Amino acid sequence: MIQVIFPGGTVAEGISHFDCDAVIGRPRAPLPNVEPGVEDLLAEMARLGVSKALVRHRACSEVGPETGNELVLAQTAGRDELAPVWMLTPDSFLEPGGAQAGTGRMLDSGVAAAWMHPAGQDYVLEPWCCRRVLTALAERRVPLIVEWENVTGRQLHEVLAAFPRLPLVLLRSPRMGRNRTLYALLEEHENLHVAVTPTYSVYRGIEDLCGRFGPSRFLFGTGYPEVEGGAAVCMLSYAQISEQDRLAIASGNLERLLREVER
Amino acid sequence: MSTDRYVECARGGAALEGLVVDIHMHLGEHVGFHIPHCRDLDLFVREMDAHGVDVGGVAAVPACLGGLQPGGNDMVVEAVRRWPGRFFGWTAVNPHYPDAMLAELERCYEAGCRGLKLHDAVGLDYAHENYRLALDFAAARGMPVLIHTWGGQLDELEGYFQHYQAVNWSLAHAGCSDPDKYVRMARTYENVYLDTCFSGSPRGLIEYFVEQDVAEKVMFSSDCYFMGLAQQLGRVVFAKISAEHKAMILGENARRFLGDLFPR
């Protein structure tokens, strides 16, 4: 909890956030007025009241997963508030021991979660294509992060159905009201988790999600570095839900997912 | 942690203090996706209360995107009638049908809607002559114009800014592309203001407007309920600018923009 001083001196407790959507590393094309990196991220976290972040590295999607995975480990080393995420592809962990051993080594090195980015890497996120890696992640209950624009509704449905032990975290869901595809997926799959980042800018959207599906599958995310993170903070602080639900979305749900990883 | 009064209220989910005007909001159904409670005006007002929004400029989606006239603006008419001190009504028109457009403008003006909303999603470029009928109607009555923009239209709109100098213009989604062009319009034309709503919520855009010295021409807008109110509010509240600049953007500029038409 964070202490908040209101005008007039009233003191209240603000919530602490665990960001599930942060990407460090300079992009190929520069962002106006922003130099994304660990120092900038930490400053943003302090400004916004974010105490922890799952961190991905831009190089994973713009250079290559091996380079990006090395960089994210190196750049988050010694920072307990930053939890590194590795990018995996269907051909990850081809070395002896297979995907199970590879997943173990990944977790041993301190990696908190995995992400896949199929649209830019010439594969599809479907069970027949990614079975080896998804099986290994599901066995250890390692959260898998995927961005909405990288997959289709059918692909999500098939992966979630084929790997019910796999916690899938969907980032950057679109700004659409009662999203007809997303709601159907949430109804169908208990292992689907959705980040309520600023791209999910829906009138009374968090209230509607919690009312229909309960609060336990929704995660706070800022969209660092492109997006003004204050938008994410306000989305949650103004949502008319219980404080218990707000805390769960702010940090509790993601902490629970990471505790459930079988290391 | 900042002690800015806006930030502290927002962190705690408390209604913002001071004047807050959301110059660009929406009411009514949209064909592309379903918004829960999209016809519930009472809930909409409670939502404004919860965020500290004192006044909302509202336009009807069925009229401005659906092109429905007559009748597309009915929710705006109802909002202005029931809460005259809370809502400023933008009448949205469909210039494909100029006779019906003028009738709808007249009907809504008589009902208390004092602004004109234009959106080229109806499929007519702003250069089309039929827009002039609506603009002439607005200019004759001192109505401001809220116009949907996405960067590219600014070139064809510039002639309007010059021709209708007595009309105050609010350029929606300012900075969504070519932010320097929006700044140039705000600097060049006294009657041109910028409204902030933009789903992409890019980091640093509000700060850019302030750095470019057009803070007095920027007005907070959410596009709510087309978007979430809190998300767009957060872009201004958490922007790395002074509390004085936030006060201007959140309310004072809109009060000046509307002048005697400001709801009371």
Q: Which residue of B lies nearest to A36 if distances are taken between CA atoms?
A: B203
pLDDT the model gives residue B204: 95
Interchain contact A202–B (C-beta under 8 A): yes
Q: Which residue of B lies nearest to A181 if distances are taken between CA atoms?
A: B33
Q: Predicted confidence band at A14 (pLDDT cuts at 50, 70, 90)?
A: low
Residue A9: is its pLDDT beyond 50? no
- Is residue A125 a contact partner of residue A96, using CB atoms and an 8 Å limit? no
Residue of A64, A66, A77, A60 lying closest to A25 (CA atoms)? A60
Query: Is B50 in Cβ contact with A177 (below 8 Å)?
Result: no
Q: How many beta-carbon pairs below 8 A join chains A and B?
A: 154
pLDDT the model gives residue A13: 54
Strands (E), B10-140: 21-27, 55-60, 87-92, 115-118
With b for 16 or more beta-carbon neighbours within 10 A and e for fewer, the A142-176 pattern comes to bbbbbbbebbeeebbbebbebbeebbbbbbbbebb
Residue A11: is its pLDDT beyond 50? no
ipTM of the shown complex: 0.95
Residue A4: is its pLDDT beyond 50? no
Q: Which residue has the tokens 């109110």?
A: B229
Residue A10: is its pLDDT beyond 70? no
Q: Is A18 helix (H, G, I), strand (E, B) or coil?
A: strand
Report the domain count for chain A: 1
Q: What is the mean pLDDT of residues B112-126?
A: 96
Query: Is B8 in Cβ contact with A6 (below 8 Å)?
Result: yes
Q: A234 to chain B: which residues are within 8 Å by CB? A: 10, 230-231, 233-234, 237-238
Residue A234: is its pLDDT beyond 70? yes
Q: Residue A248 carries which DSSP code?
A: I
CATH number of the domain residue A62 falls in: 3.20.20.140
Q: How far apart are CA A154 and CA A203, in angstroms?
A: 26
Query: Is A234 in Cβ contact with B230 (below 8 Å)?
Result: yes
Q: Helices A180-188 & A205-213, crossing angle to 10 degrees?
A: 30
Residue A7: is its pLDDT beyond 50? no
Measured at the CA of B14, the angle between CA A225 and CA B146, to 5 degrees, comes to 65
Q: B38 to chain A: which residues are within 8 Å by CB? A: 177, 203
pLDDT digits (tens, 9 = 90+) for A95-143: 878 999 999 999 999 999 999 999 989 999 999 999 999 999 999 999 9
User: Which tokens hold the place of A55?
Assistant: 């961190």
Helix (H) or strand (E) holding B141: helix B130-141
Interchain contact A2–B (C-beta under 8 A): yes
What domains can be seen in chain B, in order of their start residue? 5-258 (3.20.20.140)
Measured at the CA of B77, the angle between CA B74 and CA B81, to 5 degrees, comes to 140
Q: What is the mean pLDDT of residues A90-96?
A: 89
CA dihedral over B197, B6, B185, A34, signed as positive or negative: negative
pLDDT digits (tens, 9 = 90+) for A30-69: 998 899 999 999 999 999 999 999 999 999 999 999 999 9
Query: Is B208 in Cβ contact with A176 (below 8 Å)?
Result: no
Residue B184, exposed/middle/buried by CB under 10 A (0-12, 13-18, 19+)?
middle
What is the least distance, in Å, from the CA of B113 to any CA of chain A?
24
pLDDT the model gives residue A33: 81
Residue B33: is its pLDDT beyond 80? yes
Query: Is B37 in Cβ contact with A238 (below 8 Å)?
Result: no
In this structure, how many other beta carbons lie within 10 angstroms of the beta carbon of residue B130?
16
Q: A9 to chain B: which residues are within 8 Å by CB? A: none
Q: Mean pLDDT over all residues of chain A?
A: 93
- Is residue A34 a contact partner of residue B203, using CB atoms and an 8 Å limit? yes
- Residues in a beta bridge with B90: B115
pLDDT digits (tens, 9 = 90+) for A169-187: 999 988 777 788 999 999 9
Chain A residues 172-191 within an 8 A CB cutoff of chain B: 175-180
Helix (H) or strand (E) holding A60: helix A58-62
Q: Predicted confidence band at A29 (pLDDT cuts at 50, 70, 90)?
A: very high
Q: Mean pLDDT over all residues of chain B?
A: 96
Domain enclosing residue A184, as ranges: 2-259
pLDDT the model gives residue A208: 94
Chain A residues 57-76 within an 8 A CB cutoff of chain B: none
Measured at the CA of B182, the angle between CA B64 and CA B208, to 5 degrees, comes to 120
Nearest to A231 among B5, B7, B234 (CB): B234
Q: Predicted confidence band at A5 (pLDDT cuts at 50, 70, 90)?
A: very low
Q: What is the mean pLDDT of residues A242-248?
A: 97
Q: What is the mean pLDDT of residues B58-66?
A: 95
User: Which tokens hold the place of A209?
Assistant: 């999600």
pLDDT digits (tens, 9 = 90+) for B157-197: 999 999 999 999 999 999 999 999 999 999 999 999 999 99
pLDDT the model gives residue B36: 84
Q: How far apart are CA A157 and CA B152, in angstroms?
A: 38
What is the least distance, in Å, from the CA of B203 to any CA of chain A?
4
pLDDT the model gives residue B37: 87
Q: Which residue of B lies nearest to A180 if distances are taken between CA atoms?
A: B33
